[in-house]
Amino acid sequence: MRGRERSTVVPANARVDCCRHPNLPRRAATLKLALFASSLAIGATACGSGPHQTATASAPPHHPPSRHSQLVSIVVVARDTGTLSAPVQDGAIASTDRKHALLLGGLDTHDASLDTVTAVTAARARSIGRLPVALHDAAAVALGRTTYLFGGGTATHQLSQIMRVDEGGTVSVVGRLPEPSSDQAAAALAGTAYVVGGFTGTRWLDSIVAWRPGHPARVVAHLPQPLRYAAVAAVPGHLIIAGGSLPNGSATTSVLEYTPGHSRASPIGHLPSPTTHAAAATIGGVVYVIGGRGASINTPASRIVAVDPLTRRIRRAGRLPRALSDLAAVALGGRILLVGGRTAAAPVASLIELDRKRLAQKHPVASKRIVASGSSRNAAVNVYAHDLPTMLAPEARRALPRVYVPNSMSNTVDVIDPHTYKVVNHFAVGTLPQHIVPAYDLRRLYVTNDLGNSLTPINPRTAKPGQPIPVDDPYNMYFTPDGRYAVVVAERLHRLDFRNAHTLRLHRSLPVACAGVDHIDFSADGTYLLASCEFSGQMIKVGLRRERVLGVLSLPDGSKGMPQDVKLSPDGRVFYVADMHANGLWEIDGRRLRVIGFLPTGRGTHGLYPSRDGRLLYATNRSEGTISVISFRTRKVVATWRIPGGGSPDMGGVSADGRVLWLSGRYNGVVYAISTRSGRLLAKIPVGSGPHGLCVWPQPGRYSLGHTGVMR
């Protein structure tokens, strides 16, 4: 079978001949239009556009028998897993990988500062080194596999040093804070450490300090009021800052959000009660504020509070085995490890693990525990867990329900009311609009005007366009999972342009050693992307931490291959790649960068869209006018839906309620609305010439990774 054919992995630094496709040369500006126009004519002749308004499925949709699967609750369950060699409170902690962390400094049972570097797991701890000075109440973050320690206090003064601590316990000073401080907290976003609040010995701080290796630390933003002992954790694109001590001696209930690039942190809610000296860590996109105390000493709490930054819902989510303040918390492999802390009587030596509660459901969304691409073994993963019909984000709920259609050959966008199946608006955009892309923060949509070298923003609340934004060759566009960068797919220029996700200013251009780079999806852990190269039959793997090509995979059909859309399986294990030449989907292990199988579907396989419940994958077969329905669980085609009279189903998306699959008819000047229950054609709506990457909006999800709605 095809999946057993050998594939070739080309090292990232190897030269690759990107212009060897015999029939499809690089897309020069004028040639792209000519090729597309000729393909329109060929497609119309081959497929036709019949007048029928109903569809028939060649086989009725077959749904696999229901299985109980483990969905994850927001509630966490705590259990004791081990002990330290001695009690510690006020230590700083950061992870080195998904199983290990480093605990740095702290206070012992006599309130004396410690200089120990301790390697900890959920079950054990061992000393591996010493700090240059004994300290407590410092802050630590991990940048990659390296830990950095910020400030802290001794028995007599505050410190300004930024120390680098490697996995072996070797310590070196690599920088300094703007001023000496202790009692701060820190978290990392996209390779940058952010240090929040603190105390200089005479003054409380309201600052947020940013630092990354090789750059000076600087104040980038301010809190509404000075804070010490706040609980801080990161979620994609944001810091969450919960509680803390105020200069008047009280504790606060405030929960703040800070977005890099902004000058101030903003309130998003309140904890159930005033809290300071708590810890925080993030799992599953939710920040957990753990333990802590009130303004009075020796009043530790056992409560665990969940903060969902997307919905801004704050609620109780569990209890500790014992009340603790001044503890350290770190996320390890989908769980949270709590180290040390203080009861009302004394410091403790406990290691406690928090795990999210599993709930049995009748209708599975995620499958079993398996290996996720780029993540550790035995991690429960469902990348589409937040894409269910009821999970519209607050910003998405404000949007008008519309279907936006870019007409590549008309240089226009048609706007369809999904309730009436009628075009309700029409406006001009730049030359050769290819896709309509939801922004990472869901606040706008972008039309990618490929030859127009611009993006046209659309306000989803009004469905009205704004002024075009100059951007080179935006064939397609995605967003990094941390929300920091837009990734503009500059197909004609053979590069991926990393741009600020908000301002769209260029950060870095990454040349790619392949021809026709066009579609992308991201690993479950967000550490790399996999991109298809249509004209050289290849896939490229790009690491996001350093923004560099990690490898090139030549598909089994070589230069004849035409890989198109890319979609990750719910469990994160398999990347599915549509291939118009192979007439099916390549199954790729992204971690090892190798082909592990092939799934035949139909002629001209092009677009890929998961169902709202995450059980099925819809694959468009553009050259034969069909849609293949694939079970993620069995990795087999379970139904084929045929468009009456033929057609050219290309790209689109699934409605927010999951009931309608919307697709552009690339060579027929129409949009298809197809029932996901029966495969029946509900409507065929005339639009402009060459409709391509249409976007159904709104869609469920916490944030957008781009394209026509890759949601997470």
The CATH number given to whatever domain includes residue 314 is 2.120.10.80
Residue 296's contacts (CB-CB under 8 Å, 6 or more residues apart) are: none
Q: Are residues 394 and 423 in the same domain?
A: yes
As a dihedral over the C-alpha atoms of residue 674, residue 678, residue 679, residue 685, rounded to 10 degrees, the angle is -30
The three-state secondary structure class of 669 is coil
User: What does the pLDDT look like over 541-575, one tens digit per residue?
Assistant: 999 999 999 999 999 999 899 999 999 999 999 99
Q: Are residues 560 and 628 in the same domain?
A: yes
Closest Cα partner for 616 from 643, 636, 600? Answer: 636
Q: Are residues 463 and 318 in the same domain?
A: no
Contact (CB, 8 A) for 181 and 200: yes
User: What does the pLDDT look like over 446-480, one tens digit per residue?
Assistant: 999 999 999 999 999 999 999 999 999 999 999 99
Distance CA(513)–CA(10), nearest Å, equals: 10
Beta-bridge partners for 626: 621, 642
Neighbours of 352 (CB within 10 A): 25
Closest Cα partner for 489 from 528, 414, 437, 430? Answer: 437
Q: What is the pLDDT of residue 399?
A: 92
Q: What is the pLDDT of residue 391?
A: 86
Q: Are residues 483 and 557 in the same domain?
A: yes
Hey, what amino acid is at 256? Answer: L
Q: What is the mean pLDDT of the chain?
A: 87
Q: Are residues 23 and 153 in the same domain?
A: no
Confidence of residue 190 (pLDDT cuts 50, 70, 90): confident
Q: Is 378 a member of any domain? A: no
Q: Is 152 a member of any domain? A: yes
Distance CA(608)–CA(213), nearest Å, equals: 40
Task: Label each residue of 201-242 as H, E or C.
Answer: CCCECCEEEEECCCCCCEEEEECCCCCECCEEEEECCEEEEE
Contact (CB, 8 A) for 204 and 222: no
Q: What is the pLDDT of residue 48?
A: 36
Closest Cα partner for 76 from 407, 303, 410, 373? Answer: 303
Q: What is the pLDDT of residue 308?
A: 85
For the chain, the residue count is 712
Tokens of 577: 């790649």
Is pLDDT larger for residue 661 or for residue 38? 661
Q: Are residues 146 and 224 in the same domain?
A: yes
Q: Are residues 644 and 512 in the same domain?
A: yes
Using the CB atoms, write b or e for 477-489: b if 16+ within 10 Å: bbbbbbbbbbbbb
Q: What is the pLDDT of residue 310?
A: 65
Neighbours of 271 (CB within 10 A): 22
Residue 613 has pLDDT above 70, yes or no: yes
Q: Are residues 615 and 562 in the same domain?
A: yes
For residue 186, the enclosing domain spans: 82-356
Q: What is the pLDDT of residue 313?
A: 85
Q: Are residues 106 and 55 in the same domain?
A: no
Helix residue ranges, H only, 642-695: none
Domain closes at, from 356, 375, 391:
356
Domain closes at, from 317, 339, 356:
356
Half-sphere exposure of 693 (CA within 13 A, CB side): 27
Q: What is the pLDDT of residue 72?
A: 53
Q: Are residues 530 and 418 in the same domain?
A: yes
| Residue owning tokens 């991990």 | 142
Rg (CA), the chain: 27
For residue 691, cis peptide bond before it (omega within 30 degrees of 0): no
Supply φ then ψ for residue 395, to 5 degrees: -65, -40
> 151 in the Ramachandran plot: left (φ > 0), alpha (ψ -120 to 50) or beta?
left
The three-state secondary structure class of 58 is coil
Q: What is the pLDDT of residue 380?
A: 53
For the chain, the domain total comes to 2
User: Is residue 41 packed enough to be buried (19+ CB in 10 Å), middle (13-18) or exposed (0-12)?
Assistant: exposed
Distance CA(153)–CA(177), nearest Å, equals: 13
User: What does the pLDDT look like over 112-128, one tens digit per residue?
Assistant: 999 999 999 999 999 99
Number of helical H runs and strand E runs in the chain: 2, 55
Q: Is 706 a member of any domain? A: no
Hey, what amino acid is at 705? Answer: L
DSSP letters spanning 272-283: EEEEBS-EEEEE
Contact (CB, 8 A) for 128 and 118: yes
Q: Is 367 a member of any domain? A: no
Distances (CA, A) of 212 to 175, 177, 421, 501, 577: 10, 11, 51, 19, 36
Half-sphere exposure of 389 (CA within 13 A, CB side): 9
Hey, what amino acid is at 509? Answer: S
Using the CB atoms, write b or e for 11-29: b if 16+ within 10 Å: eeeeebebeebeebebbee
Q: Is 441 a member of any domain? A: yes
Residue 25 has pLDDT above 60, yes or no: no
636: CATH: 2.130.10.10
Q: Is 709 a member of any domain? A: no
Distance CA(196)–CA(628), nearest Å, equals: 51
